[in-house]
Amino acid sequence: MSPKRAINDEEDARIQRMIAGDPDAPEATDEQIAQKKPFAEAFPELAEAMRRNQGGRRKSANPKVVISLRLDSEVSEKIRATGPGWQSLINEASKKARV
């Protein structure tokens, strides 16, 4: 991380003009700041949904296992050329082979 450097008055004024000139990000007024609420209070349903989903994706009843597999280069190229989902193709072929 680079060390913080002090800005001079001219640079600060330029930054303040840029902030004031941005129509998509107006500064909050004192009245708006006085009315602020915590996120969970302003959007209780959304906050609750986010709390419930903190664990990410649902746990699979039959989870996959990460392995390393060595294949001939031509086999790898042909399977990868099928596009997204090529790993699932290998999985299905392995199930059918019952190896």
**How much is the pLDDT for 28?**
87
pTM over 0.85: no
**How much is the pLDDT for 99?**
62
Count of CA atoms in the C-beta half-sphere (13 A) of 3: 2
Count of CA atoms in the C-beta half-sphere (13 A) of 42: 5
In the chain (99 residues long), the average pLDDT of successive 10-residue segments reads: 81 90 86 94 92 76 88 92 92 85
Task: Give the span between the Cα atoms of 29 and 35, in whole angstroms.
Answer: 10
